[in-house]
C-alpha cells in the first residue's frame, strides 16, 4: 500500500518542487498547513500531494502566484466557491490556449527558417557528410 505520510524529501522527489518552494507555498497559503510528526517534521498526505501536483500544473502553465493564492483561498472556502473556481480556471484555460497558439506560430517560423538554411546549405555545398 502507498505510504500516507510522506516526508518533505519524498514529496520533493515525487513533485519536483524543492523543499524551499514547498515551505514558501505553505507560508503563502497556497498549501494548507501540513501535518507534523512528533519531532515536528512535515508529513504530507496523498491529498496534499495531489494538491501540490495541481499547483505545479498551474505554475507550469503560467498562472501567477497571486491567482494561485486566490484559487487556494476559494478552495479552502469550500463548495460555495465552486462557480468562482470554475471561472478562474476557464479564464486561465483561455490564456494557456492563447500562449499555445503563439508558441505554435513561433515554432512554425523556426521550422521554416530551418528549411531555408538547410536548402541554402545544400545549394552552397556546405553540407559535408
Write out pLDDT tens, residues 57-91.
Answer: 999 999 999 999 999 999 999 999 999 999 999 99
Helix 82-123 to helix 65-77 angle (10° resolution) is 150
Residue 35: helix, strand or coil by DSSP?
strand
**In this structure, are residues 34 and 43 in contact, taking their beta carbons and an 8 Å threshold?**
yes
Asked if residue 7 has pLDDT above 60, the reply is yes
Q: End-to-end CA distance of the chain: give it in Å, rounded.
A: 55
Local confidence band at 38 (pLDDT 50, 70, 90 cut-offs): confident
Write out pLDDT tens, residues 92-120.
Answer: 999 999 999 999 999 999 999 999 999 99
Amino acid at each position: 500500500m502507498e505510504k500516507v505520510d510522506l516526508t518533505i524529501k519524498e514529496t520533493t522527489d515525487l513533485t519536483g518542487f524543492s523543499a524551499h518552494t514547498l515551505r514558501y507555498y505553505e507560508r503563502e497559503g497556497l498549501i494548507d498547513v501540513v501535518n507534523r510528526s512528533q519531532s515536528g517534521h512535515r508529513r504530507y498526505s496523498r491529498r496534499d500531494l495531489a494538491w501540490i501536483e495541481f499547483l505545479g500544473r498551474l505554475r507550469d502553465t503560467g498562472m501567477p502566484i497571486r491567482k494561485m493564492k486566490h484559487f487556494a483561498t476559494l478552495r479552502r472556502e469550500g463548495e460555495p466557491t465552486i462557480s468562482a473556481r470554475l471561472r478562474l480556471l476557464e479564464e486561465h484555460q483561455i490564456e494557456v490556449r492563447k500562449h499555445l497558439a503563439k508558441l505554435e506560430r513561433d515554432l512554425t517560423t523556426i521550422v521554416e527558417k530551418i528549411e531555408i538554411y538547410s536548402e541554402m546549405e545544400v545549394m552552397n555545398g556546405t553540407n559535408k557528410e
